[in-house]
Amino acid sequence: MEEIGGYGSKVRKIKADLEKKFPGILDISTKATPTITGWLEIEASGKLIHSKKNGDGYVDTQAKYEKIFAGIENALSSR
3-class secondary structure, 24: coil
- The pLDDT assigned to 36 comes to 59
Contact assessment for residue 15 and residue 49, using Cβ atoms and an 8 Å cutoff: no
Q: Domain of 57: which CATH number? A: 3.40.30.10
pLDDT digits (tens, 9 = 90+) for 19-61: 999 988 887 777 766 665 667 888 888 888 998 888 898 888 9
Task: Please indicate, yes or no, whether the overall pTM of this predicted structure exceeds 0.85.
Answer: no
Does a structural domain hold residue 56? yes
> Alpha helices of 1-79 — where are they, by DSSP H?
8-21, 62-77
Host domain of residue 60: 8-77
Contact assessment for residue 44 and residue 78, using Cβ atoms and an 8 Å cutoff: no
Residue 72 has pLDDT above 90, yes or no: yes
Q: Can you give the length of the chain in residues?
A: 79
Does a structural domain hold residue 20? yes
- The pLDDT assigned to 32 comes to 67
Does a structural domain hold residue 2? no
Does a structural domain hold residue 29? yes
Instruction: Measure the CA–CA gap between 10 and 70, rounded to whole angstroms.
Output: 20
Does a structural domain hold residue 37? yes
